[in-house]
A and B are shown apart, each in its own frame.
Chain A
């Protein structure tokens, strides 16, 4: 009697175990398989709709229909839509609001891609695109430009250009330091980034202190908070070229990016030396980030959060998660910009403030709860 009972009990447990294991597999499958292509398609549609709505929302409300008509006219010049060729509505849409929204798409998407790449480069899920000296380089550039008037000959957006130079030279400096002595590795990159950050910010503080210029300091503060307000088609085109070229390049590099997470030794046994790619990936990301900083100042957290959201849906394989992250970044940035324009009527909040308000709690949540790791709930 006893034995049969025990047997039955044992059988039951085995059964239970099996079914949970099966469910587990099923859940994982769902996470991966719910039409990847469909998701990307939906997200792209999401971007298009968001652009239309975001342009329509503002101090004067415009019909979303008109928005698409103006865009359609400007792209293809059909005679049927000749009514939309000029006039107040056309100007508000095409010259004021749309460049800004389109810039939001490129900035958000670009930051997300750079975030993913940077996290793979240093094998650290808490890395963000500004990590390796770029943020302090950009601030020093902006400080020097605003307070000391360096680079005024660059013309109207000289602050952005000097910030770009600061950001780019900071990351080159980080690379150089990380490669001095022995070859660069993720830890050395992180530490050199920290060191360069410290040096550059102390110089910024020094200049701020010595210059003692209240208006200038306020300018710097505003500039560092980030804004998409300066968008003009002539700038936006360039950002698009750089961001999309960078993204397509990294899309071709997904195998190497995957291997960066496994480390240098595994990389070699699988036929790729990661040393060289690590260097030029970093140069390419700092170029992209430099351009983004030039166009919009410093907008934090997008580059940190979007990669994590993308990984939650489709895992760590960079082939899959880069397009998703780009779309997330774009949509997020569009709506963050809309909110920053309408939350306080007739005032525009710097978008960086807005993003950080939502971003920091998420960062803390991630830090204390589960995402310290590349999304693998275990660690």
Chain B
């Protein structure tokens, strides 16, 4: 499923947070959004998943205007793993993931065997299959985040929004989660904090600064040393691991902070 955002403008408390933002995500592409804290990534993603209403602009899922759909319809096409999920309720992991089936349910519809199969499958895919009966609140931050990913998978959507999904995770699970998401046939739009992870997993990146897109392209083309220095204000060097051929960024201490 293609996801297209055209000329999105978002204003919060009379302050323009997102300015005329246009973004395309091709079918099954992994598109990353990078940018410094407060540049408007989350605000933009929230308009895509409809928690915020844009002042102007539209979001298309294939050719349908997502902002005109019912929430139920858009939740059948678009799943979300958001930034913070600390919740202190007493749901079990299985119950949390089962909520991912809600967009496919009518008020009086029961949970069928098929729903339980989908839930189990989603939990297995994030390697949380044995945690089904545990209480969500008793899990670590990283485990909770994986359960939320399982819930998103249980929604069986073709499009997935990740809003800094790897925030609480160990590096192992960061890689695992992004690998898993990438291996699935889904269109993914992800706000990613770690530029190296963006380099590794994104098919395409958009660089955001102060509410605007300031650059986009394939990660190795878009995330240039000059661009990163301009947007983040840090010195950085492109390197290639001679053995694996992996591209990576090395951050350098700035000249000014010379320790005496």
Contacts and interface: CB of A to CB of B under 8 A. Distances in A.
A32 B95 CA distance: 11
A338 B72 CA distance: 49
Given A269-B49, A269-B79, A253 B71 contact: no
B89 A255 contact: no
Nearest to A378: B137
A63 interface: no
A253 B102 contact: no
B107 A376 contact: no
Given A25-B130, A25-B133, A255-B102, A269 B51 contact: yes
Nearest to B136: A376
Given A316-B90, A376-B89, A376-B138, A271 B102 contact: yes
Given A270-B155, A376-B137, A262 B99 contact: yes
B71 A271 contact: yes
A375 B108 CA distance: 27
B80 interface: yes
Interface residues of A, number: 32
Contact of B133 (A28, A258, A270, A316): A28
A259 B102 contact: yes
A373 interface: yes
B99 A259 contact: yes
B75 A373 contact: no
B135 interface: yes
Contacts of A262: 87, 89, 99
Interface string B70-86: 11111110111010000
B99 A258 contact: yes
Nearest to B148: A266
Contact of A270 (B75, B95, B130, B138): B75
A284 to B, nearest CB: 15
B50 interface: yes
Contact of A376 (B82, B100, B135): B135
Central interface residue in B75, B100, B107, B135, by most chain A CB within 10 Å: B135
Contact of B75 (A258, A261, A271, A376): A271
A28 B71 contact: no
A272 B71 contact: yes
Contact of B105 (A255, A265, A316): A255
A34 interface: no
Contacts of A374: 88-90
Contacts of A373: 88-90, 137
B133 A315 contact: no
Q: Chain B interface residue count: which class?
A: 35 or more
Contacts of A24: 134
B46 to A, nearest CB: 8
Given A259-B102, A271-B71, A378 B49 contact: no
B5 to A, nearest CB: 17
A18 to B, nearest CB: 11
A270 B155 CA distance: 8
Contacts of B50: 268-269
B92 interface: yes
B235 to A, nearest CB: 37
Interface in B178-225: none
A322 to B, nearest CB: 14
A38 to B, nearest CB: 18
A213 interface: no
A375 B72 CA distance: 30
Interface in A38-97: none
B102 A272 contact: yes
A234 interface: no
A311 interface: yes
B103 interface: yes
B91 interface: yes
A369 to B, nearest CB: 15
Given A268-B49, A269-B51, A311-B90, A252 B108 contact: yes
A379 interface: yes
Contact of B82 (A253, A259, A269): A269
Interface of A: 24-25, 28-29, 32, 252-253, 255, 258-259, 261-266, 268-273, 311, 315-317, 373-376, 378-379
Given A259-B99, A268-B49, A311-B90, 19 more contacts: A25-B133, A28-B133, A252-B108, A255-B105, A258-B95, A262-B99, A265-B82, A268-B75, A270-B99, A270-B102, A271-B73, A272-B71, A315-B91, A315-B92, A315-B135, A373-B137, A374-B88, A376-B135, A378-B137
17 contacts: A25-B134, A29-B133, A253-B107, A259-B99, A264-B51, A265-B51, A266-B82, A268-B50, A269-B49, A270-B99, A271-B72, A272-B102, A316-B90, A373-B90, A375-B89, A376-B90, A376-B135
